[in-house]
A and B are shown apart, each in its own frame.
Chain A
Amino acid sequence: MSSQKNISPPAWADRFFNWYCKNELGESIQGDLHERYELYRNSHSRIRSNLLYWMDVIRFINRFTLRKKSTRRTFIPTIMLKNYTLVALRNIKRNVAFTTINVVGLAISMAVCLLIIATIDDQTSYDEFHSKGDQIYRVTHRRLNDVNLPIATTPLPLAEKLKNEYTGLEHIVQFRRGFSGEILDNGKAINISGLYTNPELFDLFDFELESGNVGTALKEPNSVVLRNDIATKFFKDKDPMGEDLIIEGLGSFKITGVLKEIPGKTHINFEAFASFSTVASLEKQGKLSESLSDWDKLSGGWVYFNFKEGRHLSDLQATLNRISDENYNEESEYDVVFSIQKMTNITPGPLMGNQIGQSMPNFFIYGLVILAVLIMTCAAFNYANLTTARALTRFKEVGVRKVMGSTKGQVVMQFVIEAVLVSLFSLVIAIGLLRLLIPAFEGLNMSSLLEWKLNPGTKVYVQFLIFSLLTGLFTGFFPSLYMSSVKPINALKGMDGPKMSKIGLRKSLIVTQLVISIVLIISATLVHRQIKYMINKDYGFNRSNIVNVDLQGQDFDLIKPELEKLSFVERVSGANNIPSIGRHDDIELRKNVTDEEVKYNYFSVDENYIDNLSLNLIAGTNFTPKQTEEREVIINEEAVDALGYESPEKAIGGNVILGDSTNVNIVGVVKNYNFMILYMDIKPLLLRYNPEEFEWAQVKVSGANRIDELKQMESTWAGFDPNHDFEYNYFDEQIEEFYSMFYDIVYIVGLISILSIVIAGMGLLGIATYSIQTRLKEVGIRKILGADGKNLILILGKSFFIMIIISTLIGGLISFFGNKAWLELFAYRVSFGFDIVGIAFLFIIVIGGLTIGTQTWKAMRTNPADILRNE
Chain B
Amino acid sequence: MRFNLGEFEEIVLLVVAAQNEEAYGLSVTTSIEEELKRPVTMSSVHTALYRLEEKGLVKSEIGGTTKSRGGRRKRIFMITSAGKEALLDAKNARNHLWSMIPKVVFENR
Nearest residue in B to A30 (C-beta to C-beta)?
B72
Q: From A55, which residue of chain B is reached at the shortest CB distance? A: B41
- The answer to whether A60 touches B43 (Cβ under 8 A) is yes
Question: 1/0 per residue B1-27: CB within 8 Å of A?
Answer: 000000000000000000000001110
Question: Could you tell me the distance in whole angstroms from the C-beta of A21 to the nearest C-beta in chain B?
Answer: 11
* Residues from chain B with Cβ under 8 Å of A25 in the complex: 50, 75
Collect the chain B residues with CB atoms within 8 Å of residue A62's CB: 43, 47
Q: Contacts A39-B30, A64-B50 given: A31-B69 contact, CB under 8 Å? A: yes
Q: Any chain B CB within 8 A of the CB of A29?
A: yes
The 8 Å CB contact of B42, one of A5, A8, A32, A64, is: A32
A34 contacts across to B, CB distance below 8 A: 68-70, 72
A38 with B41: CB separation less than 8 A: no
Is there a chain A Cβ closer than 8 Å to B46's Cβ? yes
Is the CB–CB distance between A29 and B46 below 8 Å?
A: yes
On whether the beta carbons of B30 and A28 are closer than 8 Å, the reply is no
Residues on the B chain within 8 Å of A5, using CB: 67-68
Interface membership of B84, Cβ < 8 A: no
Expressed in whole angstroms, the minimum distance between the Cβ of A33 and any Cβ of chain B is: 7
Are A64's CB and B46's CB within 8 A? yes
Q: Given A35-B26, A36-B26, A64-B50 in contact, is the A27-B73 Cβ separation under 8 Å?
A: yes
Contact A32:B24 (CB < 8 A) given known A56-B41, A56-B43, A59-B41: yes
Q: Which residues between 30 and 63 of chain A lie within 8 Å of chain B, taking CB atoms?
A: 30-36, 38-39, 56, 59-60, 62
Interface residues of B in 38-68 (CB under 8 A from A): 41-44, 46-47, 50, 62, 65-68
Beyond A8-B70, A31-B74, A34-B72, is A59–B43 a contact (Cβ under 8 Å)? Answer: yes
Interface SS, B side: helix
Q: Evaluate whether A28 and B43 lie within 8 angstroms (CB atoms) in the complex, with A35-B68, A36-B26, A39-B30 already known.
A: no
CA of A5 to CA of B66, assembled, Å: 13
Roughly how many angstroms separate A56 CA and B46 CA in the complex, as a whole number?
Answer: 12
CB distance from A716 to the nearest CB of B (A): 98
Q: Cβ of A60 and Cβ of B46 under 8 Å apart?
A: yes
In the complex, residue of chain A having the shortest beta-carbon distance to the beta carbon of B54: A64
How far is B46's CA from A35's CA once the two chains are assembled, in angstroms? Answer: 14
Task: Tell whether, in the assembled complex, residue B68 and residue A32 are in contact, meaning their CB atoms are under 8 Å apart.
Answer: no
Q: Is the CB of A38 within 8 A of B42?
A: no
Which residues of the partner chain B approach A30 to less than 8 Å between Cβ atoms? Answer: 70, 72
Closest B residue to A37 using CB positions: B68
- CA distance in complex: A30, B25 (Å): 10
The answer for the CA separation of A8 and B41 in the assembled complex, in Å, is 21
Name the residue on B nearest A28 (C-beta).
B75
- CA of A56 to CA of B67 in the docked complex: distance in angstroms? 21
A28 and B73 form a contact (CB under 8 A) = yes
Q: Given the complex, which residues of A lie within 8 Å of B24, measured CB to CB? A: 28, 32
The answer on a CB contact under 8 Å between A32 and B26 is yes
A36 touches B42 (CB 8 A): yes
Residues of B within 8 A of A32 (CB): 24-26, 29, 42, 46, 69, 74
* Interface size class, chain B: 20 to 34
A-side contacts of B75, CB under 8 Å: 25, 28
For the complex, give the distance between the alpha carbons of A25 and B73 in Å.
Answer: 10
Alpha-carbon distance A38/B69, docked complex (angstroms): 9
| Most chain B beta-carbon neighbours within 10 Å: one of A5, A31, A34 | A31
Given contacts A28-B73, A62-B47, contact A33 B42 (CB under 8 A): yes
**Contact: A31 with B46, CB < 8 Å?**
no
Could you mark each residue 29-40 of chain B with 1 if its beta carbon is under 8 Å from any beta carbon of chain A, else 0? 110000000000
Task: Give the distance in Å from the alpha carbon of A32 to the alpha carbon of B25 in the complex.
Answer: 6
**Alpha-carbon distance between A522 and B69 when the two chains are bound, in angstroms:** 62
Q: CA A805 – CA B71 in complex, angstroms?
A: 53
Chain A residue nearest to B66 in the complex (CB): A35
CA distance A8 to B26 in the complex (A): 18
Give complex CA distance A60, B29 in Å: 14
B residues within 8 A CB of A38? 68
Note all chain A residues with C-beta closer than 8 A to B30: 39
Minimum CB–CB distance for B75 against chain A, Å:
4
Query: In the assembled complex, which residues on chain A have CB atoms less than 8 Å from the CB atom of B70?
Result: 8, 30-31, 34
Q: Cα distance A608–B58 when bound, in Å?
A: 111
CB-CB under 8 A for A35 and B69, given A29-B46, A62-B47, A64-B46: yes
User: How far, in angstroms, from A769 to B46 measured CA to CA in the complex?
Assistant: 57
- What are the interface flags for A9-29 relative to B under an 8 Å C-beta threshold, 1 for contact and 0 otherwise? 000000000000000010111
Name the B residues within 8 Å of A39 (CB-CB).
Answer: 30
Complex CA–CA separation, A25 to B46 (angstroms): 10
Query: A31 and B73: CB pair below 8 A?
Result: yes
List B60-95 residues whose CB lies under 8 Å from chain A.
62, 65-70, 72-75
A residues within 8 A CB of B47?
A: 62, 64
- State how many angstroms separate the Cβ of B57 from the closest Cβ of chain A: 16
> Which residues of chain B come closer than 8 Å to A27, judged between CB atoms?
72-73
**Chain B positions within 8 Å of A28 at CB level:** 24-25, 62, 72-75
Bound-state Cα–Cα, A555 to B100, Å: 121
Report the nearest B residue to A9, measured CB to CB.
B70
Q: How long is the Cα–Cα vector from A256 to B41 in the complex, in angstroms? A: 82
Which A residues, 60 to 94, have Cβ-Cβ distances below 8 Å to chain B? Answer: 60, 62, 64
Q: Which residues of chain A are near B29, meaning CB under 8 Å?
A: 32, 36
CB contacts (< 8 Å) of B62 on chain A: these are 28
Q: How far is the CB of B40 from chain A (nearest CB, A)?
A: 11
Q: Which residue of B lies closest to A8 (CB)?
A: B70
A30 to B: closest C-beta gap in Å: 6
CB distance from A155 to the nearest CB of B (A): 67
A35 to B70, CA, bound (A): 9
| A56, B72: Cβ atoms closer than 8 Å | no
A33 to B, closest residue via Cβ: B42
Q: A62–B44 Cα gap in the complex (Å)?
A: 10
Among A27, A28, A30, find the residue whose CB has the most chain B CB atoms closer than 10 A: A28
Residues of B within 8 A of A31 (CB): 65, 69-70, 72-74
CA distance A812 to B68 in the complex (A): 59
Smallest CB-CB separation from B71: which chain A residue? A31
**A61 — nearest CB in chain B belongs to which residue?**
B43
Residue of B nearest to A57 (CB): B43
* CB closest chain-B residue, reference A67: B50
Instruction: Kindly provide the distance from the CB of A144 to the nearest chain B CB, expressed in whole angstroms.
Output: 58
Within 8 Å CB of B68, what residues of A?
A: 5, 34-35, 38
Instruction: Assess A29 versus B41: contact at CB under 8 Å? Given A35-B68, A62-B47.
Output: no
CA of A35 to CA of B24, assembled, Å? 12
Q: Which residues of A contact B46 (CB under 8 A)?
A: 29, 32, 60, 64
Q: Which residues of B contact A33 (CB under 8 A)?
A: 42
Per the bound structure, the CA–CA distance linking A288 and B66 in Å amounts to 97
Task: Chain A residues near B25: list those with CB within 8 A.
Answer: 28-29, 32
Residues of B contacting A64 in the complex (Cβ-Cβ under 8 angstroms)? 46-47, 50
Query: A458-490: which have CB < 8 Å to B?
Result: none
**Please, which residues of chain A bring their CB within 8 A of the CB of B65?**
31
Min CB distance, A278 to chain B, in Å? Answer: 79
**Cβ-closest chain B residue relative to A1:** B68
| Docked CA distance A5–B67 (Å) | 10
What's the minimum C-beta distance from A64 to chain B, rounded to whole angstroms? 5
- A132 smallest CB distance to B (angstroms): 56
Which has the most chain B C-beta neighbours within 10 Å: A8, A25, A30, A64? A64
**Closest residue to B53 on the A side, CB-wise?**
A64
A26 — nearest CB in chain B belongs to which residue? B72
Could you jot down 16 A-B contacts, CB within 8 Å? A8-B70, A25-B75, A28-B24, A28-B75, A30-B72, A31-B65, A31-B72, A31-B73, A32-B24, A32-B29, A35-B66, A36-B26, A39-B30, A56-B41, A64-B46, A64-B47
List the interface of chain B (C-beta within 8 A of A).
24-26, 29-30, 41-44, 46-47, 50, 62, 65-70, 72-75
The 7 closest A-B pairs by CB, nearest first: A31-B72, A28-B75, A31-B69, A59-B43, A32-B25, A32-B26, A60-B43
List the interface of chain A (C-beta within 8 A of B): 5, 8, 25, 27-36, 38-39, 56, 59-60, 62, 64
In the complex, besides A25-B50, A28-B75, A59-B41, 12 extra interface pairs with C-beta distance below 8 angstroms are A25-B75, A28-B74, A30-B70, A30-B72, A31-B69, A32-B26, A32-B29, A34-B69, A35-B26, A36-B42, A60-B43, A64-B46
